[in-house]
Amino acid sequence: MPKAILKTDQTCPKDLSQEEQDLFWMKYAYSLAEKAGSQGEVPVGAVIVLAGKLIAEGWNQSIQSHDPTGHAEMMALKSAGQAVENYRLMDSTLYVTLEPCPMCASAMVHARVARVVYAAPDLKTGAAGSVFNLVANENLNHKLEIASGILQAECSAQLSNFFKSRRAHHKEIKRQLKSGLIDS
Ligand SMILES: [Zn+2]
């Protein structure tokens, strides 16, 4: 059995409906987003599930890794590939707290992920229906099933609270610079 499956060993309780399973995994993704936020990253978390089992997790780490591709989904996809020792992730579901961007949506198509479930829509760059639809595009040879809105209010609030506190922090630094409390 691939090592990462043993390592994570997170399984959804049995006998849950699809909707309840989606909620279970999205809560897990939310906790990963929280971790990203506590590290100063935009709070986005992602998990990949195969046959009811967690095979990979990821959270935003672009800033600390100096990596423009360090989105939660990309981290999870890379880790899932290692877990199943295959670059194709057939029959898997990717849960993410924010609608994927074009880069992540394309990576999911390359990986043949079967289903994407996201919480909050991204009205600026969302590529699973909001601005573009790259995960279920007629011109592409693989289409994902899309579900959205699971835990949406919580994940949207998590993001807007993060940006609110970051703006407040920047404002405070500006104020201190202006008043000479700190050196520029
Ligand atoms: Zn992305």
Tokens found for residue 87: 């670059």
Q: Can you read off the two tokens belonging to residue 71?
A: 């989105």
Cα distance between residue 100 and residue 106, in whole Å: 9
The pLDDT assigned to 181 comes to 78
pLDDT confidence tier of residue 184, bands split at 50, 70 and 90: low
How many Å lie between the centroid of ligand 1 and the Cα of residue 132? 13
Residue in the structure block whose two tokens are 């996201």: 118
> Using 50, 70 and 90 to split pLDDT, how confident is the model at 53?
very high
The CA 127 to ligand 1 mean position distance, Å, reads 9
Cβ density class 150-166: b for 16+ within 10 Å, e for less: bbeeebeebbeebeeee
The tokens of 140 are what?
A: 């592409």
Mean of pLDDT values over 31-54? 96
Q: Which residues form the catalytic set? A: 73
Share of the chain above pLDDT 90, in %: 84
pLDDT of residue 13: 82
Based on its alpha-carbon atoms, the radius of gyration of the chain, rounded to whole angstroms, reads 18
Residue 120 β-bridge partners: 98
CA distance 59 to 30: 10
Q: How far is the CA of 176 from the centre of ligand 1 (A)?
A: 34
Contact 56, 83 (CB under 8 A): yes
Q: For a pLDDT cut of 70, what percent of the chain falls above it?
A: 95
Span from the CA of 35 to the centroid of ligand 1 (angstroms)? 17
Distance 25 CA to ligand 1 centre (A): 19
